Amino acid sequence: MTAVISSLKARKILDSRGNPTIEVVVGVRDARGEVCYGRAAAPSGASKGKLEVVDFPAGGVDKALEKVGEIAPRLSGIDASDQARVDEMLHELDGTPNLSVLGGNTTVAISLAVAKAAALAKQMPLYRYLGGSGDLTLPYPLGNVIGGGKHAGGYAPDIQEYLVVPVGARRASDAVFTNAQVHRKLGQMFSEANPSFTRGKSDEGAWSPNICNEGALEFLAEACEKVSAETGVEVRPALDVAASSLYDAERKVYAYKREAVTRDPGEQLEFILDLIERFKLFYVEDPLHEEDFEGFAELTRKVGKDCFICGDDIFVTNVSRIRMGIRSKAANAIIIKPNQIGTLTDTFKAVELARRNKYMPVISHRSGETTDETIAHLAVAWRCPMIKTGVVGGERIAKLNELIRIEEDLGDRARMSGLR
């Protein structure tokens, strides 16, 4: 063994909402006898799928820190390069199907920190350690520029995220700056349209204006057109509806409070189809609630290749749920969030299953983030066509700036992923 786990410790840190979360540091002794340290922090979501693993054990972050103290001697001496064994041990130590004893945030922080330490022990960047020696590709950043739903408050739209995709970018750095330009353009447009606009922002740094759902889309589409013309890089609008947050299970309707409108499942599907057509949407995430596999399948069938229909809450990075989607042909893209499933190995299995069945994997941040940059490396290592990681804010640009560094590191071999 050339990368033996020698230490494991954890601390409580802040996420981007000011809430506590866990950061883990793993020490690994390399072949020279020197210790390399890998560090990883876990994020937290506001809009969660009900089948995600439990984020923290009963007792919260403080209890999670105690659990790390119990886990440390069990992992000591294990080969850090055997990621599958490390992750299997975490499952065994927890003993529950939803990681409720240790907490999914506890296990994912340990799992990622082990991988980062093992990569350092082999003197490799994480993206190359996980991605192998072959050609790698850079993802297109999917950025949130207008925020509503559970990520905002007041009179913001009901739809949770209004997104942009710089589909015409030929370099990751160009893509990152193009998304930032759309964000900046929208701030100017909202201020010009409403002098009382406070320039308030949602949890992910997106603008949070007093505007109706379709009004926000009109602004978004116009900003995309303007920035596309200014930069020569085509930018397309997209949405994360977070429809489970709108769904009233008792009445079986989607309740849009901003406009005092309810839609039954059929009307919701037609509403989304209309938005895709009118605004030339490139991507729509969670357009229907998390149990509506049939509706997802119908929507995917009707839009064909015109739009990616992406599932988050319906799949929660869970292989069993993804298989259900594959059988019913629900969606053609999937959000991948490591802390939804709890370990690096489980996350990779979800990515591989999606890819084998022609579902586009989209590596994603959470609304409550840290400055941990790991998902940028995962997106490159696993050749994911897109990464969803915001546009502005320190916890978002940590990932975006890391993509720029990776692109520079790849040099002449740097290529963008194909989106189709």
Encoding tokens for residue 279? 């605004």
Roughly what angle, to the nearest 10 degrees, separates helices 60-75 and 104-121? 40
**CA separation for the pair 119, 3 (Å, rounded):** 9
Asked if residues 111 and 29 have their Cβ atoms less than 8 Å apart, the reply is: no
Active-site positions read 204, 337
Helix, strand, or coil here: 228? helix
Burial degree of 58 (CB within 10 A; 0-12, 13-18, 19+): exposed
Which residues, including other chains, have CB under 8 Å from residue 240's CB and lie 6 or more apart?
144, 159, 160, 161, 163, 284, 285, 286, 312
- The 3-state DSSP class for residue 411 equals helix
Measured torsion, CA atoms of residues 174, 175, 177, 179, in degrees rounded to the nearest 10: 160
**Number of Cα atoms under 13 Å in the Cβ half of residue 358:** 5
Greatest distance between any 2 Cα atoms in the chain: 66
